[in-house]
């Protein structure tokens, strides 16, 4: 299969924030979602699988991925690129099962939000066959500043959990710092500026600092999705992850307060409210 064919016949299953952004950046011709209002040139998920050489999956978790693939009439030679942050062992198993059917599978997890993807600022971490990865590189580079092959199927999910662990803790630490600054009666805008220029700096200050200060929780990436990721981290680890346990409790509190569908910067509400 020629690379230009790979890049020209593409579809999306899961047209949420990430899927919709992927459609715009890749020029995908078909997209399906359980929300019929989001569908593009497709009435069912089967329409996408039947008509597209490459299908991106942008779904909430691995269980839903398996359910969707179970009902898909996948032809040999198709390529499934799964951007879901899921269970690494499940994604490895899916890759092996699809391989037996002549279907290639890449778990291509995305480090960055849908808003960053629209600016081609994300990193894509890919697990799967190296040759298939190279065939799809041009398509992935349409929306990523960098793509990296990290190992066999499931490796993309593993790397995403590691990066999300550190990212999420950076976000929680920033939220606690802003709340502490507020208690100290410091100007919050100036505090954020000083932190950006100090050794405390992390890129999360650029993307989430102002949202926390202003209370703008319009979702770029939903809090409930990161809570799902933290639970996956804790389940996958053989050793205790004490900071992540604390982070899980904060996210669960924020979700209970009604911020599950809000931006993940809303974790600050779990610190602000007793």
Question: Which tens digit of pLDDT belongs to each residue from 104-131?
Answer: 999 999 999 899 999 999 999 999 999 9
Supply the pLDDT for residue 274.
81
pLDDT band at 61 (very low <50, low <70, confident <90, very high): very high
Supply the pLDDT for residue 1.
44
Q: What mean pLDDT is reported for the chain?
A: 94
pLDDT in tens, 150-194: 999 999 999 999 999 999 999 999 999 999 999 999 999 999 999
pLDDT band at 6 (very low <50, low <70, confident <90, very high): low
pLDDT band at 7 (very low <50, low <70, confident <90, very high): low
pLDDT in tens, 127-144: 999 999 999 999 999 999
pLDDT score of 83 more than 70: yes
pTM over 0.85: yes
Burial profile 22-53: b = 16 or more Cβ within 10 angstroms, e = fewer: bbebbebbbbbbeeeebbbebeebbbbbbebb
Question: Percent of the chain having pLDDT more than 70?
Answer: 97
Cα separation, 202 vs 239, in Å, equals 26
Cα separation, 183 vs 131, in Å, equals 55
Supply the pLDDT for residue 73.
85
Whose tokens are 């900071």? That residue is 243
pLDDT in tens, 215-251: 999 998 899 999 999 999 999 999 999 999 999 999 9
DSSP 128: S
pLDDT band at 3 (very low <50, low <70, confident <90, very high): very low
> Minimal CA–CA distance to 217: which of 262, 267, 272, 168?
262
Supply the pLDDT for residue 8.
54
Supply the pLDDT for residue 251.
98
Of 70-74, 159-163, 207-211, 259-263, which gets the smallest average pLDDT?
A: 70-74
pLDDT band at 28 (very low <50, low <70, confident <90, very high): very high
Torsion over CA of 222, 226, 231 and 236, rounded to 10 degrees? 140
> Minimal CA–CA distance to 109: which of 159, 151, 61, 171?
159
Whose tokens are 């500026």? That residue is 193
Question: Percent of the chain having pLDDT more than 90?
Answer: 92
Supply the pLDDT for residue 9.
82
DSSP 119: T
């Amino acid at each position: 299969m020629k690379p230009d064919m790979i890049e020209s016949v593409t579809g999306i299953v899961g047209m949420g924030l990430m899927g919709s952004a992927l459609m715009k950046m890749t020029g995908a011709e078909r997209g399906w979602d359980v929300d019929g209002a989001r569908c593009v040139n497709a009435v069912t998920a089967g329409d996408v699988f039947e008509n597209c050489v490459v299908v991106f999956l942008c779904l909430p978790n691995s269980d839903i991925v398996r359910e969707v693939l179970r009902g898909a009439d996948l032809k040999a030679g198709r390529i499934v690129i799964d951007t879901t942050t899921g269970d690494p062992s499940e994604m490895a198993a899916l890759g092996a099962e699809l391989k037996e059917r002549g279907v290639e599978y890449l778990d291509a997890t995305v480090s960055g939000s849908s808003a960053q993807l629209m600016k081609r600022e994300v990193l894509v971490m890919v697990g799967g066959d190296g040759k298939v990865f190279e065939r799809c590189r041009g398509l992935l580079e349409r929306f990523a500043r960098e793509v990296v092959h990290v190992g066999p199927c499931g490796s993309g999910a593993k790397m995403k959990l590691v990066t999300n662990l550190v990212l999420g803790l950076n976000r929680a630490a920033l939220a606690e710092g802003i709340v502490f600054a507020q208690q100290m009666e410091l100007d919050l805008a100036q505090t954020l500026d000083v932190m950006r220029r100090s050794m405390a700096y992390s890129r999360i200050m650029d993307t989430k600092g102002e949202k926390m200060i202003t209370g703008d929780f319009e979702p770029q990436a939903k809090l409930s999705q990161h809570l799902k990721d933290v639970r996956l981290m804790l389940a996958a680890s053989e050793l205790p992850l004490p900071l992540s346990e604390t982070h899980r409790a904060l996210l669960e509190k924020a979700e209970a307060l009604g911020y599950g569908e809000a931006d993940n910067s809303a974790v600050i509400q779990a610190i602000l409210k007793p």
